[in-house]
Amino acid sequence: MLREIDEATARLFDSLERLTDEDMRQPTLLPGWTRGHLITHLARGCGALTNLIHGLPPYVSQEVRNADIEAGAGRGAAELLADLTAANAVLRDAMAAAFDEESAGRWTAGDAFTADQAPVRRLSEVELHHVDLAVGYTANGWPAYYAGLELFEPLATWRQERLVGGGSAG
């Protein structure tokens, strides 16, 4: 699954690299969120998953998570992309150290947010939120691997919402 995450991330960065500062202030498919909010969320999500892999809570608190997203949302395109690039590199290194290609495709389903879910959560975050960015990437662009992947909740519901044209702040 690490290869699929890398491929999905490359597609996301291809879309982001052409966006301007003004584009970052445009709305996404997620109510109340601009592209700046969503890109900041993706970057902070890297940190949350890295924390999980290292046995730490994903976020200090929900309030801090939300404040970090709000604080980062107004940045320009270059700064947003640099933040996401750096955060993604740290997460990628953590996943590569913690999982091999086979173990990255196994996880424990359930309500608990566990470290073994990091790869599938990241793949889903990238694919789902790439659609949400409203940059021309749709669920029709998902590779067969992701489109057919058996997901646990809430990821399965969030994927289904994108297939029927909805969005969710997942």
Segments forming the whole domain that contains residue 141: 2-163
| 152 in a structural domain | yes
Q: Which CA distances in Å does 73 have to 21, 38, 129?
A: 11, 8, 15
pLDDT at site 57:
86
| 169 in a structural domain | no
- Report how far residue 60's alpha carbon sits from residue 129's, in angstroms, rounded to the nearest whole number: 23
| 168 in a structural domain | no
- Report how far residue 37's alpha carbon sits from residue 6's, in angstroms, rounded to the nearest whole number: 22
pLDDT at site 164:
86
pTM above 0.85, yes or no: yes
- Report how far residue 149's alpha carbon sits from residue 113's, in angstroms, rounded to the nearest whole number: 19
| 170 in a structural domain | no
Residue 65, domain CATH: 1.20.120.450
> Domains in the chain: how many in total?
1
pLDDT band per the 50, 70, 90 thresholds, residue 106: very low
Q: Over the stretch 19-40, which tens digit does the pLDDT of each residue have?
A: 999 999 999 999 999 999 999 9
For residues 91-118, average pLDDT: 70
Q: Does residue 47 carry a pLDDT above 80?
A: yes
